[in-house]
Structure 1
Amino acid sequence: LMLRTWLRDGEVFTQVLTGKISGLSPVAGVPFWLEALEPDYIPLEKTDNSSNLVQGIYFNEWRRPVKYLVCQSWPGAGAAAVAVKEVTAENMLHLRFTRRLNQARGASLLAPVIIRLMDLKEYEDSERIAARIAASLGMFIKKQDVGTDGYVAPEKRKETQIQPGMLFDGLNPGEDIGMIKSDRPNAGLESFRMGQLRAVA
């Protein structure tokens, strides 16, 4: 799970716990634990240049982490304010994927392609909806212009329930049946999708 979090979010944190901890019992008599933390627990929005606080991490003058701000409860629970504690760098492990020097937080491996994937999903959704609409299309009745010889004006608008294999013989003189053609589903959808996925890879 930690590796998956690192690949998806670009980073993962682990707090090292030793000694006597309330609520934890030593395993095999060794008072040592590792608490895996998702990146959301270290507030990304916490930045203060006056105290060298960058995205939830305090740095010294050599850009080495000194301590971390850690939320004491899940920040996505919807609470108005989440209590924050400080954890020293000696007790925090930070595995992150970086693309440049002095980068404080990790960057997701999906960051360069996430917009392309979102566009692909929206395109597939639009094609799916268009295919559903196309499957609901039936036929229409072509009528001659008023005044043409043999044309009989209908008394009222007709509605016909279409079923598979039915025979329709309710045409008036001068009327003809036309079929509604649709180009959905798009024949090039599969090749377009594969091209986008190859570009992502």
Structure 2
Amino acid sequence: MSGSSNWRQRLGAFIGGFDAGQHHRRLRGFRATRAHVNALIAASGPDITARARWLVRNNGYAVNAVESWAANTVGDGIKPISKIADAALKEELQRLWLTWTDEADAEGLTDFYGLQRRAAREVFIAGEVFFRIRPRRASDGLTVPLQLQMLPAEMLPLEQTGVAANGNTIRQGIEFDRIGRRVAYHFLRRHPGDSTDPGLSGEVVRLPAAEIIHVIDPVEGGQLRGVSKLAPAIVKLFLLDQYDDAELDRKKVAAMYAMFVTSPAPENPLAPPDDEDGPAGVEISPGQIVRLDPGEDVTVGQPADSGGTYELFQYRTLLQISAALGIPYPYLANDMVKGNFSNSRLALIEFRRRVSAWQHSVMVYQLCRPVYGRWMDAAVLSGALSLPRYEANRSRLLTADWLPTKWDWVDPLKDANAEIAQIEAGLKSRTQAIAERGYDAEQVDREIAAERDRERVLGLDFRRPGSPAPGVQAVPVQGDDTDQTDETEVAEDRPREAEDQS
């Protein structure tokens, strides 16, 4: 292997072409590993995850990045809109799903959309998260007998590698059959770092892959386990935190000294100490006059400033951390001062593009769709939902649009006008525009129709909510004995009165 490497180096030096592949003076210290990402995760994964969790608990920038990621990727939740054509059946299904979301968490701490948010946080911090699908008994009183239990990455030990009793291969806690399919996960019964759990430490239980949902954003082919998104920024976050602490401590120590007294007779200090155990000193008060003995001199303490480069250094370092995390600088530092409107808009568009890709390729594909499928199976089997010929039409009945939380407009008036122009030009449909805001177009249309019916009954103009409609006669309401003639005449006469006044 060493001879082959030396031969490649000599050949590269002779042919040239790619500076990145040379071994000259500038790159002599650049020794990149050729190990696969699985080997790197096995060696360093636990330390990376532990350091990432420490930073999120103790570093303001790290926790802000995690919360920003979760808020933008999930927000209020990524919600399904069924594509079932039957309106009544669709409404029944949506109502049942909405009821079940409040019961989804096996711990009872949040709803299904809260689990999505927790999943987004865990994938950012640890690179992965697991959900165990827990079927329940009918006697448990759930709308649909199904719940989800979140398991952190540490519950699946990376060192669990070998050959199972049935001949399958176990790699980093995941069991594979002979053709490479995931068939089981070997989880610890208790968290290895939770000393408050009375369970047996180190005991492993085998769970079928059909019961486990593994949410992960792989970055390399063949990758088995996740890597924290904080990994490229951990070193800079930690060192910047240390630098800030040292700078703050230096300023604090320097500011504690108000003045220094130089005396030719050290045995005769300026003032005796108030406390025998404490150092000698003198109290300073406003307007105080201090008499000095001959030869004594007083120097007022002048703590050194942080310097003009402190702010620039902080900003540049935070920009590097922002790039490493994929979080815009204003979201990372909560600093909305730097950058003009156009630059901020461009950064926001790029960030939303990344978020949208992650939402659909990771969250929707790996978590939302599998949960929706298992939920519908359990709902039909338990009798909570009646779907004719479900087994034959399962794939069609499971079809749904998963709508993330709508993006807030940067410039509402300009964005709205631009979208109206696109709809009028036929570049997009109202259905698409409404779906991008996280709503169902059919439901919105029904609400608009209901509002217009109500406005017509009340004699209002829907374009001016709350205002009387000129020339529009209110529809009499049954059971109302009030004479409607006068009301109509008044409404019809209003435009004429306005013309006379003009």
Q: TM-score range by the shorter chain?
A: 0.7 to 0.9
Q: Where is the helix percentage greater, Structure 1 or Structure 2?
A: 2
The residue number in structure 2 matching 1:178 is 299
Whole-Å Cα distance in 2 between the matches of residues 155 and 83 of structure 1?
Answer: 70
> Could you tell me which residue of structure 2 aligns to residue 48 of structure 1?
162
Distance in 1 of aligned mates of 2:305 and 2:174: 52
The separation in 2 between residues aligned to 1:41 and 1:154, in whole angstroms, is 65
CA distance in 2, matches of 1:180, 1:49: 70
Question: What letter matches 1:133 in structure 2?
Answer: V
User: Could you tell me which residue of structure 2 aligns to residue 67 of structure 1?
Assistant: 184
1:181, CA displacement in angstroms?
2.7
Deviations 1:27-58 (A, max 9, x none): 22x33222221112212232236863222112
Q: Which residue of 2 aligns with 1:32?
A: 146
Q: Which residue of 1 aligns with 2:126?
A: 9
Larger radius of gyration: 2
Question: Residue 194 of structure 2 is aligned with which of 56, 77, 86?
Answer: 77
State yes or no: 1:162 paired with 2:283. yes
Hey, what does 2:207 align to over in structure 1?
87
Give the deviation of 1:61 after TM superposition: 4.2
Residue 257 of structure 2 corresponds to residue 137 of structure 1: yes
For 1:156, the aligned partner's letter is N
Q: What is the TM-score when the length of structure 1 is the normalising length?
A: 0.80
Q: Distance in 2 between matches of 1:103 and 1:131?
A: 47
Partner residue in 2 for 1:105 = 225
Does the 8 Å CA contact 1:134/1:184 hold for their aligned counterparts?
no
Kept in 1: contact 2:136–2:147 (CA 8 A) = no
Amino acid at match of 1:162: E
Structure 1 residues 45 and 172: alpha-carbon distance in aligned structure 2, compared to 1, 3 A threshold: same
Residue type of the alignment partner of 1:83: E
- Which residue identity does 2:249 align to in structure 1? I
Residue matched to 2:469: none
Deviations along 1:163-188, whole A, 9 cap, x unmatched? 24243433122232222332144553
Which residue is 2:28 aligned to? none
Root-mean-square deviation (Å): 2.6
Alignment equivalent of 2:315, drawn from 177, 194, 200: 194
Structure with the larger strand share? 1
Change (3 A) 1:186 1:131: farther
Q: Which amino acid aligns with 2:159?
A: E
Give a deviation string over 1:100-153, Cα, whole Å, max 9, x none: 111111111111101111111111111111111011012222356xxxxxxxx4
5+ residue gaps, structure 2: 1-117, 272-280, 323-502
Distance (Å, rounded) in 2 between the aligned partners of 1:5 and 1:186: 39
Tell me, which stretches of 5 or more residues in structure 1 are unaligned? 145-152
Give the TM-score of the pair, scaled to structure 2.
Answer: 0.35
**Between the two proteins, what is the percent identity of the paired residues?**
28
The answer as to whether partners of 2:270 and 2:292 remain within 8 angstroms in 1 is no
Letter of the structure 1 residue corresponding to residue 140 of structure 2: S
C-alpha separation between the residues in 2 aligned to 1:155 and 1:183?
31
Structure 2 equivalent of residue 149 of structure 1: none
Q: Give the superposition deviation at 1:62.
A: 4.2
